Amino acid sequence: MILLEDFILRALAAGLGVALVAGPLGCFVVWRRMAYFGDTVAHSALTGVGLGLLLGADPVIGIMAVGAVLVAFLTILGRRGRHASDTLLGIFSHGTLALGVILLASMETVRVDLMAYLFGDILAVMPADLAWIWGGGLAALAVLLWLWRPLLAATVSPEVAQAEGVPVTAVQVAFMLVIAVVVAVAMKIIGVLLITAMLIIPAATARRFAASPEAMAAIAAGLGAAAVVLGLVGSANWDTPAGPSVVAAAVGLFALSPLVGVLLGRR
């Protein structure tokens, strides 16, 4: 049975590892309306891959480094206030995506599967990749748990949080760095063009059913895991691309959520 093949089981383990951290993290992305920032970090990952390969380093290290530089630039330029945040994100998003494609296309000695980086290749996950995914994911989840209360306070009201002694800027920078780490470990699974979907869609679906922030985070993680399972099963049965199938399953769950909400008596 194809679903019990080793590569399917590795893909399932990798997808679940990403879903468990992307769900809670995506809740803050939804609450703080940072979907465009998620896209920008995901697009910058392609530049990180190019730099990593160019310097002979692991692409994941390159992605994290570029993500850290991006966060630093956005923080500094955002404080100066000369440009709106969405303008800066648009410049960095498209600029880093273009630079990444140029870097990868210019490497004649390195063969790069650009489609795998753009749309993911979850079925090609190896045991070493699982170590990166679960290690990086658990580390990111631990940092998010540590930041949970101050980040929640800063999300509800930055002014009140600042008055209560919360280092709002430092908390926000740490949160953005966690997103960069998750993008780095998840890129091989979903790809840079689809990764933001796995941050946003399960969290947006969970919002309908959650009675508290913590409940929404748990539900989002569960919905992300369900999307991984459904997507891989659909990919195996109908021979569709695995990464996009996972995202399509997440969209399907979102589309069904109003009906489920009615059946459960929720608005």
Neighbours of 108 (CB within 10 A): 6
Query: Using CB atoms within 10 A of its CB, is residue 105 exposed (0-12), middle (13-18) or buried (19+)?
Result: exposed
Give burial (CB, 10 Å; 0-12/13-18/19+) of 229: middle
CA 20 distance to own-chain centroid? 11
Are 58 and 171 contacting, i.e. CB atoms less than 8 angstroms apart? no
How far is 166 from 38, CA to CA, in rounded Å? 24
Residue 129 located in a structural domain: yes
For residues 186 and 180, is the Cβ–Cβ distance under 8 A? no
What is the DSSP code (8-state) at residue 108?
A: S
Mean pLDDT in order along the chain per 10 residues (267 residues): 72 92 94 88 90 85 90 82 78 90 81 78 87 91 95 93 92 92 84 87 94 95 96 90 92 93 69
Amino acid letter, 83: H
Q: What is the pLDDT of residue 74?
A: 85
The tally of domains found in the chain comes to 1
Q: Is position 136 within any domain?
A: yes
pLDDT given for residue 261 in this prediction: 77
Residue 215 within any structural domain of the chain: no
Distance of CA 43 to CAs 39, 163, 235, Å?
6, 35, 25
Which of 130, 239, 138, 123 minimizes the C-alpha distance to 190? Answer: 123
pLDDT in the model for residue 264: 75
- 203 within 8 A of 35, measured Cβ to Cβ: no
- Sort residue 56 into left (φ over 0), alpha (ψ -120 to 50) or beta: left
Is residue 152 included in any domain, yes or no?
A: yes
In the chain, what's the furthest Cα-to-Cα distance?
Answer: 60
Instruction: Encode burial over 235-262: b for 16+ CB neighbours within 10 A, e otherwise.
Output: bbeeeebbbbbbbbbbebbbeebeeeee
Helix and strand counts by DSSP (H, E) for the chain: 11, 0
Q: List the CATH number of the domain containing 138.
A: 1.10.3470.10
| pLDDT tens-digit readout, 54-106 | 888 888 888 889 999 999 888 888 777 667 778 888 899 999 989 988 888 88
Q: Is residue 106 part of a domain?
A: yes
Stated pTM of the model: 0.90
Question: What is residue 2's predicted lDDT score, i.e. its pLDDT?
Answer: 55
Range of the domain at 7: 2-193
| Average pLDDT over all residues of the chain | 88
Asked if residue 259 belongs to a domain, the reply is no
Element containing residue 85 per DSSP (H, E): helix 85-106
What is the structure's pLDDT at 115? Answer: 80
In a domain, 203, yes or no: no
Torsion angle (degrees, nearest 10) of CA 114, 141, 162, 216: 100
Residue 239 lies in a domain: no
